[in-house]
Amino acid sequence: MNLPAHTPTHPRMEEASHGNSRGPGGPDGWNSNSDHGGDHDQPRLATAKAGLWLFLVTATVVFSMLLSAYVERKTGTDWSILPRLGILWLNTGFLVLSSAAMEWARRLARRGDLQGTRFWWLLGGAFAVLFLLGQLLAWQALYIAGYGLSSNPSSSFFYLLTTLHGLHLLAGLIAWGWATVSIVRLPETALAKSGIKIELCALFWHFLLLVWLAIFGFIWFVS
């Protein structure tokens, strides 16, 4: 499994030892929910990232199971090939741009460039919204072409895969919107406070891009 490296000792213990003013062994920050200053972001980031990575592993299993079922079900004689929807290429482009913008926001945040971070962060979210709208258009086009949810297993899989992927992205956008509130309001110095949210969102975005590329690849090339 792909877990980030961890130290055997409690990361926060080390913190306490290098001059944390909160008193001997002050166990502040042990609760990952508590919102302390930037001092505490490193261990919190490691823990939150570990949690997100585990979730990505689980989500990977979900999509791999669906794609295996897709490959298996495709051998049925009733399988028909879906019309090629050009808009999917456009949507793919949106998602690539979205992921790239999130990555850029993440890097600028690390450098402490608040203006740049804000710009790319908002742009990343906007492209994600465009992707989702584009997916809705793709659904409409497919539906008009005569493929409803239950018309054919190929369209059933298409709707199911895109819905599950879209719901993940939608959940990501909710997290993004929640983080945006604090990022937009932030004074320059406190960028580190939102660092975790930016890191996690970027990671999730890249994952969803990979998942989409896999889904798109199967739909386009393995049909």
Site residues (CB under 8 A) for other proteins?
A: 1, 3, 6, 8-11, 13, 22-28, 30-34, 36, 43, 46-47, 50-51, 54-55, 57-59, 61-62, 65-66, 69, 72-73, 76-79, 149-150, 153, 156, 160
Token representation of residue 111: 């450098």
In the complex, minimum distance from the CB of residue 81 to other proteins, in angstroms, rounded to a whole number: 15
User: Whose CA is closest to 15, among 33, 42, 37, 35?
Assistant: 42
**In the complex, minimum distance from the CB of residue 117 to other proteins, in angstroms, rounded to a whole number:** 25
* Closer residue to other proteins (CB): 70 or 205: 70
Angle of the 87-111 helix axis to the 191-221 helix axis, nearest 10: 160
C-alpha distances in Å from residue 39, one per residue of 14, 70, 125, 193: 12, 47, 28, 9
Instruction: Give me the helices (H) in the chain, please.
Output: 11-17, 41-74, 87-111, 114-144, 153-185, 191-221
- State which residue, 30 or 89, has the beta carbon closest to other proteins: 30
Nearer to other proteins, 35 or 112 (CB): 35
Instruction: Report in angstroms how near the CB of residue 112 gets to other proteins at its nearest.
Output: 26
Beta carbon nearer to other proteins, 33 or 115? 33
Nearer to other proteins among residue 57 and residue 133 (C-beta) = 57
Shortest distance, position 216 Cβ to other proteins, whole Å: 19
Question: In the complex, what is the shortest distance from the CB of residue 185 to other proteins, in angstroms, rounded to a whole number?
Answer: 22
CA dist 216 to 42, 98, 107, 164, Å? 36, 17, 28, 13
| Torsion angles phi and psi, residue 103, rounded to 5 | -65, -40
In this structure, the chain runs to a length of 223
